[in-house]
C-alpha cells in the first residue's frame, strides 16, 4: 500500500487537481500533462530546474499526511483517486510553482513570443474549467441543502408536540439529530432502524428514503401508514431549475 501510494502521490497533485475533473484520471492527464510538467526539469536552465524542484519538494512534503488513499482501476489506467481534493490545497501551491517554471522555461528558451501566449492559453483554460467545476460542485451542495431543509419540514409536519417522533433511513448524523432536538423537537426526535419495539400507542415513525418519506402510526399494536410525502429530491431539483 505504501509503495503504491508513493508511486501516485507525486503524479496526483500534478494532474489530479487539473481539469476536466478533480481527482479523476484521464488519458490526457496520464500522457500529455506529465510530459509538459517534466519539460522544466529536462529543458530548463539551472534556475528553472531549481525552482521546479522546490515546487516538487513542496508537493511531496505537504502530501505526506494524506498518503492512505484508495485507487479504483478501470482498464489499464487508475480511474479515481479517492481522497478529498481539499487535502491538496497546500500541495497545489507546489504544482503552481512547477507551472510557473514551465512558463519560465519557455521564456528562457524561446522568448516572450512563446511564453506569453502559453501563459494566456494556460490561464484561460484553467479559468474556464475551474469556473465550470465550481458551478457543478456548488449546484450539488445547494441541492443537498434544499433536500435537507425539505426533510426537516417533513419531520416538523410529522411531529406531535410532547410525543417522541422516530425517524429512520435518512442518513442523518447523530450531531444533526442532536441539533434538531435542541432547535425544534425538545429532545423528542429519535433516530432508529428498523421499527422501534415496545413503544406506546400513538407513536409516530417517519421512514425514508428521502425520495418517498412515509409516516407510520402505531395503532392497536400495528404500524399503519398515515401519510406519504412528496419526493424531496425531485422537489429540490425543480426548485433549482426554477432558479
Higher pLDDT, 223 or 136: 223
Q: What integer is the mean pLDDT of 212-228?
A: 91
Asked if residue 75 has pLDDT above 80, the reply is no
Q: Tell me if 55 sits within 8 A of 97, measured CB to CB.
A: yes
123-159 per-position pLDDT tens digit: 887 777 777 777 777 888 888 899 999 999 999 999 9
The residues near 166 (Cβ < 8 Å, ≥ 6 apart) are 190, 191, 192, 196, 199, 203, 204, 205, 206
Return the pLDDT at 203. Answer: 93
Q: What integer is the mean pLDDT of 77-106?
A: 77
pLDDT band at 68 (very low <50, low <70, confident <90, very high): low
Return the pLDDT at 242. Answer: 79
Q: What are the residues facing 168 on neighbouring strands?
A: 207
Identify the three-state secondary structure at position 166.
strand
- Measured CA to CA in angstroms, residue 74 lies from 13, 26, 78, 79, 89 at distances of 20, 11, 6, 6, 27
Higher pLDDT, 243 or 214: 214
Q: Tell me if 202 sits within 8 A of 163, measured CB to CB.
A: yes
Q: Which residue ranges make up each domain of the chain?
A: 2-110, 155-242
Return the pLDDT at 240. Answer: 83
Return the pLDDT at 184. Answer: 94
Give phi and psi for 120, each to the nearest 5.
-65, -45
Higher pLDDT, 204 or 66: 204
pLDDT band at 61 (very low <50, low <70, confident <90, very high): confident
Higher pLDDT, 128 or 112: 112
Q: Is 215 left (phi over 0), alpha (psi -120 to 50) or beta?
A: beta
Rounded mean pLDDT of the chain? 82
2-17 per-position pLDDT tens digit: 555 555 556 666 555 5
Tell me which of 38-42, 83-87, 118-122, 227-231 is least confident.
Answer: 83-87
Query: Which is it for the CA torsion 32, 137, 134, 5, positive or negative?
Result: negative
Closest Cα to residue 192, out of 165, 155, 167? 167
Identify the three-state secondary structure at position 120.
helix
pLDDT band at 20 (very low <50, low <70, confident <90, very high): low
The rounded distance, in Å, linking the Cα atoms of 82 and 184 is: 37
Return the pLDDT at 178. Answer: 93
DSSP-assigned states of every residue in 188-234: -EEE-SS--SS--TT-EEEE--TTS-EEEEEETTEEEEEEE---HHH
The rounded distance, in Å, linking the Cα atoms of 85 and 66 is: 11
The residues near 48 (Cβ < 8 Å, ≥ 6 apart) are 40, 101, 104, 105, 108
pLDDT band at 221 (very low <50, low <70, confident <90, very high): confident
Amino acid at each position: 500500500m505504501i509503495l503504491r501510494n508513493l508511486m501516485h502521490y507525486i503524479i496526483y497533485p500534478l494532474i489530479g487537481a487539473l481539469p476536466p475533473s478533480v481527482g479523476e484520471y484521464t488519458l490526457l492527464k496520464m500522457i500529455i500533462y506529465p510530459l509538459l510538467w517534466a519539460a522544466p526539469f529536462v529543458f530548463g536552465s539551472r534556475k528553472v530546474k531549481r525552482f521546479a524542484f522546490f515546487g516538487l519538494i513542496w508537493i511531496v512534503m505537504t502530501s505526506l499526511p494524506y498518503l492512505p488513499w484508495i485507487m479504483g482501476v478501470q482498464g489499464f489506467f487508475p480511474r479515481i483517486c479517492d481522497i478529498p481534493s481539499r487535502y491538496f490545497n497546500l500541495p497545489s501551491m507546489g504544482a503552481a510553482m512547477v507551472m510557473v517554471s514551465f512558463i519560465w522555461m519557455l521564456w528562457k528558451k524561446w522568448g516572450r513570443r512563446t511564453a506569453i501566449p502559453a501563459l494566456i492559453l494556460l490561464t484561460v483554460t484553467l479559468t474556464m474549467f475551474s469556473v465550470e467545476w465550481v458551478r457543478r460542485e456548488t449546484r450539488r451542495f445547494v441541492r443537498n441543502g434544499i433536500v435537507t431543509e425539505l426533510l426537516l419540514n417533513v419531520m416538523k409536519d410529522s411531529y406531535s408536540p410532547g410525543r417522541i417522533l422516530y425517524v429512520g433511513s435518512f442518513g442523518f448524523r447523530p450531531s444533526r439529530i442532536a441539533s434538531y432536538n435542541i432547535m425544534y423537537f425538545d429532545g423528542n426526535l429519535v433516530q432508529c432502524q428498523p421499527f422501534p419495539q415496545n413503544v406506546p400507542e400513538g407513536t409516530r415513525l417517519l421512514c425514508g428514503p428521502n425520495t418517498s418519506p412515509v409516516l407510520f402510526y402505531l395503532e392497536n399494536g400495528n404500524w399503519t401508514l398515515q401519510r406519504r410525502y412528496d419526493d424531496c429530491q425531485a422537489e429540490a431539483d425543480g426548485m433549482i431549475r426554477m432558479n
